[in-house]
Structure 1
């Protein structure tokens, strides 16, 4: 499980959470074109340049727009990712600035996920 202060998550840990954790929210911050090429199961698409605004929505607005519950500020399993890691890191930093103390960036991003999953 995530420890406070950890800002990164790796494939093996994320893979163990996907499909098993009720609290996991994986946020895909890539472009719509990139997402169309494949995504991590259960991930929610919120482009990196909109993360700050979207995570500032009320819980009701967030749920209506994305179909998932807006995570609380102390959510233990909030993970951002992009294709390789840079934009995911930017999004993770924005989330931290908004008070999401346990937000983490998936190191290697979708590129690593796709390689490990054989896609």
Structure 2
């Protein structure tokens, strides 16, 4: 069984190197406006089901990136501290995105480590 979480070091290794990485920030717009992980797209947790169900053209138009395939290997969600990210992963998996994972450290850990 695929693990549902990804660590800070694993995520950092993918960013900027993997063309397959789709990092989805599920926090509120107010939170995202204060800072985000480079390359992430914003999809509030409440709209994950709806947004991931969009057809590819609508998804591309809304987010500016290609819609991930159901078996996308590097579909990662994150929030501030992990809880909403885990919820987003559950929603994505329910839609058939089998390898969706949560960056459990969230933006809190990311920003703390970026500041060091």
Fold shared by both chains (TM-score > 0.5): yes
CA distance in 1, matches of 2:102, 2:74: 11
Shift of 1:71: 0.3
Runs of 4+ deviating beyond 6 Å? none
The root-mean-square deviation of aligned C-alpha atoms, in Å, is 0.9
| Residue correspondence of structure 1 range 16-95 to structure 2 within 5 A | 16-95=13-92
Structure 2: which 5+ residue stretches go unaligned?
A: none
Structure 1 gaps, min length 5: none
- Cα distance, 1:38 vs. partner? 0.4
Count of matched residue positions in the alignment of Structure 1 and Structure 2? 116
